[in-house]
């Protein structure tokens, strides 16, 4: 029997995998030539430090027992504890969570937060379960991953289909199991429980701030600029409102229920109310319904993907006529689409920079929890804006210096920081 070569990847890290993990590996390939001597350590980035799969058995309201599959992946902790959200979605897989955890490592380092990267998820559609069932699923999942999370080990937060209530249950479960109220174990909590003002809006606000910076770079005025958005959840909805309030025209929104369009600009406040009442954008008054293919092909200054991974891919990239793409979602653009858009002159502000506002205010929340001293919303928004602007400026300077995309610029900045920590810490034991 031939020996398994020491440098070969474990089978679950198949480099030919085409999903989000494959996308992430390709992004690492693209940054490697710019890492100099640190490229000796690049293999670290291609393997998550720790991946946990847990069974989540729960009694449903009808008395039957259901089993769900849960994950928590800690991709890298060289610069600090693992940090990243928990996602509830019927399509969640281990390799998707691995990619999301890796993007958290890159994101935290790109904006220079003292965190590593982690992510979690449970494979189920919360829309099909009652509030009580979701609470029981959350609590059992938290207990199962309780062996690896903690305020100095790995700090979960909200992500797709999770929110402040989910974080309150996680914080309570962890605290009851450990015998001490530990607010710092999760971020994105309700404000009454040690959460931070401004956290709910933080990701969308960060998208807005870097969107304004990128527009200024390209000589585009926000006042009157056209914006189209895929996703109208916490990120897309907040970004839509902030651009609308700044005088931009949000001309189309695409969500899981359909695409709505109004060439004169949608009434974002009315659309928000419609989504609250009907669960999606479809059927909103004073809008016309358009096909997804027509949504992507709209002529616009800004395009904000704020839904799931790989939405901009080889099948629609060539039709996109946006001047700037601001990635509110994690991993919305495949490497092929990156190349097509770049060749067509579209500027892409990458996820690891554009949506870092959420984890930045999570960091503020964690700091406030430890000092038990809480900041005002003005103070939080001010610090958030300053950090996002500084990160945008330094990433775009690195991109210009090396004549690479902002994504590769962000990866150069982040991976250098991660691997410098890796090297100076050394291998132990
Ligand atoms: N889920 C968010 C993200 O993807 C926030 C993570 C956090 O605050 O830890 O960036």
Distance 422 CA to ligand 1 centre (A): 23
Residue 181's pLDDT band (boundaries 50, 70, 90)? very high
Per-residue pLDDT averaged across 279-308, rounded?
Answer: 98
Q: 213 and 292 share a domain? A: yes
Check whether 412 has a pLDDT greater than 70.
Answer: yes
Distance 215 CA to ligand 1 centre (A): 24
Q: 152 and 231 share a domain? A: no
Distance 383 CA to ligand 1 centre (A): 17
Check whether 14 has a pLDDT greater than 90.
Answer: no
Q: What's residue 15's pLDDT? A: 55
Name residues whose C-beta falls within 8 Å of residue 322's C-beta, 6 or more positions apart in sequence: 228, 300, 301, 302, 303, 346
Q: What is the CATH number of the domain that holds 305?
A: 3.40.50.720
Per-residue pLDDT averaged across 165-192, rounded?
Answer: 98
φ, ψ of residue 181 in degrees (nearest 5): -65, 115
Q: Is 330 in the pocket of ligand 1 (CB under 6 A)?
A: yes
Q: What's residue 5's pLDDT? A: 61
Q: Is 215 in the pocket of ligand 1 (CB under 6 A)?
A: no
Our mutation pick for probing the ligand 1 site, out of 158, 307, 367, counting the most ligand atoms within 8 A of Cβ, is 158
Asked whether residue 379 is domain-assigned, the answer is no
Distance 308 CA to ligand 1 centre (A): 14
The stretches of 331-403 forming alpha helices (DSSP H) are 335-343, 351-354, 357-371, 377-402
Q: 157 and 124 share a domain? A: yes
Q: Is 323 a catalytic residue?
A: no
Q: What is the CATH number of the domain that holds 91?
A: 3.40.50.10860
Q: 238 and 321 share a domain? A: yes
Burial class of 155 by CB neighbour count within 10 A (0 to 12, 13 to 18, 19+): buried
Q: 281 and 343 share a domain? A: yes
Asked whether residue 373 is domain-assigned, the answer is no
Check whether 10 has a pLDDT greater than 70.
Answer: no
Domain termination residue (choose one: 354, 388, 419)? 354
Asked whether residue 179 is domain-assigned, the answer is yes
Burial class of 30 by CB neighbour count within 10 A (0 to 12, 13 to 18, 19+): middle
Q: 89 and 154 share a domain? A: yes
Distance 107 CA to ligand 1 centre (A): 9
Count of structural domains within the chain: 2
Q: What is the tens place of the pLDDT at every residue in 18-58?
A: 799 999 999 999 999 999 999 999 999 999 999 999 999 99
CA distance 279 to 282: 9
Residue 225's pLDDT band (boundaries 50, 70, 90)? very high
Q: Are 328 and 240 in contact (CB under 8 A)?
A: no
Among the atoms of ligand 1, which is closest to the Cα of residue 156? 9
Q: Is 161 in the pocket of ligand 1 (CB under 6 A)?
A: no
Q: 219 and 111 share a domain? A: no
Q: Are strands 249-255 and 258-261 parallel, antiparallel or unpaired?
A: antiparallel
Q: 181 and 224 share a domain? A: no
Asked whether residue 396 is domain-assigned, the answer is no
Tokens read off for 191: 């404000």
Q: Is 207 in the pocket of ligand 1 (CB under 6 A)?
A: no
pTM of the model: 0.96
Among the atoms of ligand 1, which is closest to the Cα of residue 87? 1
Among the atoms of ligand 1, which is closest to the Cα of residue 188? 8
Q: What is the tens place of the pLDDT at every residue in 74-114?
A: 999 999 999 999 999 999 999 999 999 999 999 999 999 99
Sign of the alpha-carbon torsion through 131, 135, 137, 141: positive
Q: Is 77 in the pocket of ligand 1 (CB under 6 A)?
A: no
Q: What is the tens place of the pLDDT at every residue in 371-387?
A: 999 999 999 999 999 99
Our mutation pick for probing the ligand 1 site, out of 85, 100, 161, 306, counting the most ligand atoms within 8 A of Cβ, is 85
Q: Is 328 in the pocket of ligand 1 (CB under 6 A)?
A: no
CA distance 173 to 142: 7
Domain termination residue (choose one: 354, 373, 394)? 354
Q: What is the tens place of the pLDDT at every residue in 335-383?
A: 999 999 999 999 999 999 999 999 999 999 999 999 999 999 999 999 9
Q: 300 and 231 share a domain? A: yes
Q: Is 142 in the pocket of ligand 1 (CB under 6 A)?
A: no
Q: In what order do the strands lie in the sheet with 65-76?
A: 50-59, 65-76, 117-123, 82-89, 154-158
- Which H or E run includes 117? strand 117-123
Q: What's residue 295's pLDDT? A: 98
Q: Which of 83, 119, 189, 323 is catalytic?
A: 119
User: What's the half-sphere exposure (Cβ side, CA atoms, 13 Å) at 168?
Assistant: 12
CA distance 294 to 53: 40
- Which H or E run includes 409? helix 406-425
Q: 308 and 171 share a domain? A: no
Q: 171 and 226 share a domain? A: no
Asked whether residue 39 is domain-assigned, the answer is no
Tell which residue, 271, 227, 231, has the closest CA to residue 247: 227
By residue range, what is the domain housing residue 145?
A: 48-193
Q: What's residue 1's pLDDT? A: 43
Q: 180 and 208 share a domain? A: no
Asked whether residue 400 is domain-assigned, the answer is no
Q: Is 355 in the pocket of ligand 1 (CB under 6 A)?
A: yes
The count of other CB atoms within 10 Å of the CB of residue 39 is 14
Average pLDDT, the chain: 96
Q: Are 135 and 97 in contact (CB under 8 A)?
A: no
Cα distances from 323 to residues 14, 83, 228, in angstroms, run 35, 32, 11
Asked whether residue 144 is domain-assigned, the answer is yes
Among the atoms of ligand 1, which is closest to the Cα of residue 330? 4
Cα distances from 232 to residues 225, 287, 306, 403, in angstroms, run 19, 15, 7, 34
């Amino acid at each position: 029997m031939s020996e398994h070569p020491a440098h070969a990847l474990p089978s679950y890290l198949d480099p030919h995998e085409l999903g989000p993990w494959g996308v992430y590996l390709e992004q690492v390939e693209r940054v490697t030539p710019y890492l100099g001597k640190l490229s000796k350590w690049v293999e670290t980035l291609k393997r998550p430090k720790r991946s946990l799969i847990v069974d989540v058995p729960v009694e449903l309201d009808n008395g039957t027992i259901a089993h769900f599959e849960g994950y928590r992946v800690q991709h890298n902790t060289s610069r600090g504890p693992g940090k990243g959200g928990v996602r509830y979605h019927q399509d969640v897989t281990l390799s998707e969570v691995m990619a999301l955890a890796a993007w958290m490592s890159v994101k935290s380092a790109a904006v220079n937060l003292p965190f590593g990267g982690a992510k979690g998820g449970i494979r189920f559609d919360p829309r099909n379960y009652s509030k009580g069932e979701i609470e029981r699923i959350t609590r059992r999942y938290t207990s199962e991953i309780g062996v690896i999370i903690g305020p100095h080990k790995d700090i979960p937060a909200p992500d797709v289909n999770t929110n402040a209530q989910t974080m309150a249950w996680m914080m309570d479960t962890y605290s009851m199991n450990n015998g001490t109220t530990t607010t710092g174990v999760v971020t994105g909590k309700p404000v009454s429980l040690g959460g931070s003002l401004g956290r709910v809006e933080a990701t969308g606000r960060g998208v807005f701030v870097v969107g304004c910076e990128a527009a200024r770079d390209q000589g585009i005025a926000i006042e009157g600029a056209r914006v189209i958005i895929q996703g109208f959840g916490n990120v897309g909805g907040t970004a839509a409102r902030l651009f609308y309030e700044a005088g931009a025209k949000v001309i189309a929104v695409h969500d899981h229920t359909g695409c709505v369009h109004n060439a004169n600009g949608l009434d974002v406040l009315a659309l928000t109310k419609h989504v609250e009442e009907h669960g999606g954008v479809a059927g909103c008054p004073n809008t016309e319904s358009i096909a997804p293919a027509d949504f992507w092909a709209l002529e616009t200054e800004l395009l904000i993907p704020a839904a799931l991974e790989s939405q901009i891919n080889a099948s629609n990239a060539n039709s996109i006529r946006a001047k700037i793409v601001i990635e509110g979602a994690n991993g919305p653009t495949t490497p092929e689409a990156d190349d097509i858009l770049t060749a067509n002159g579209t500027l892409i502000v990458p996820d690891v920079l554009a949506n870092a506002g959420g984890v930045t205010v999570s960091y503020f929340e964690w700091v406030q929890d430890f000092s038990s001293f809480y900041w005002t919303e003005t103070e939080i928004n001010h610090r958030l804006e300053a950090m996002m602007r500084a990160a945008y400026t330094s990433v775009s300077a690195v991109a210009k210096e090396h004549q690479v995309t902002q994504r590769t610029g962000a990866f150069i900045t982040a991976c250098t920081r991660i691997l410098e920590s890796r090297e100076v810490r050394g291998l132990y034991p």
